[in-house]
Amino acid sequence: MCQSSEQELSRLVEIIGKGGSLILPTETVYGLFADALSEDAVRHVYKLKQRPVDKAMNLNVATIDAIYAFSKEQPDFLPQLFDHFLPGPLTIILKANEHVPVWVNSGLDTVGFRLPNHPVTREIIKRTGPLIGPSANVSGASSGKVYEEIKSQFEEQLFGFADDEAITGQDSTILDLSGEYAKILRQGLITEAELKAKVPQILFEPLVG
Could you give the CA distance from residue 175 to residue 156 in angstroms, rounded to a whole number? 34
Pick the CATH number of 6-198 from 3.40.630.40, 3.90.870.10, 1.10.1520.10, 3.40.640.10: 3.90.870.10
pLDDT at 3: 63
Among 34, 43, 6, 37, residue whose Cα is nearest residue 159: 34
Residue 110 contacts residue 94 (beta carbons within 8 Å): yes
pLDDT at 65: 98
pLDDT at 1: 45
Please tell me the pTM assigned to this model.
0.94
pLDDT at 155: 85
3-state secondary structure the chain: CCCCCHHHHHHHHHHHHCCCCEEEECCCCEEEEEECCCHHHHHHHHHHHCCCCCCCCEEECCCHHHHHHCEECCCCCHHHHHHHHCCCCEEEEEEECCCCCHHHHCCCCEEEEECCCCHHHHHHHHHHCCEECCECCCCCCCCCCCHHHHHHHCCCCCEECCCHHHCCCCCCEEEECCCCCEEEEECCCCCHHHHHHHCCCCCECCCCC
Could you give the CA distance from residue 135 to residue 117 in angstroms, rounded to a whole number? 15
Dihedrals phi, psi of 114, to nearest 5 degrees? -135, 140
Tens-binned pLDDT, residue by residue, of the chain (209 aa)? 456 689 999 999 999 999 999 999 999 999 999 999 999 999 999 999 999 988 999 999 999 999 999 999 999 999 999 999 999 999 999 999 999 999 999 999 999 999 999 999 999 999 999 999 999 998 888 878 999 999 998 989 999 999 999 999 988 999 999 999 999 999 999 999 999 999 999 999 887 65
Task: Give long-range contacts, CB 8 A cutoff, 24+ apart: 186-194.
Answer: 186/91, 188/28, 188/89, 188/90, 189/28, 189/88, 189/89, 190/85, 190/88, 190/89, 190/90
What type of residue is 62? A
Burial of 15 (0-12, 13-18, 19+ CB in 10 A): buried
- Report strand pairing: 173-176 vs 71-72: unpaired
Residue 115 neighbours by CB distance under 10 Å:
26
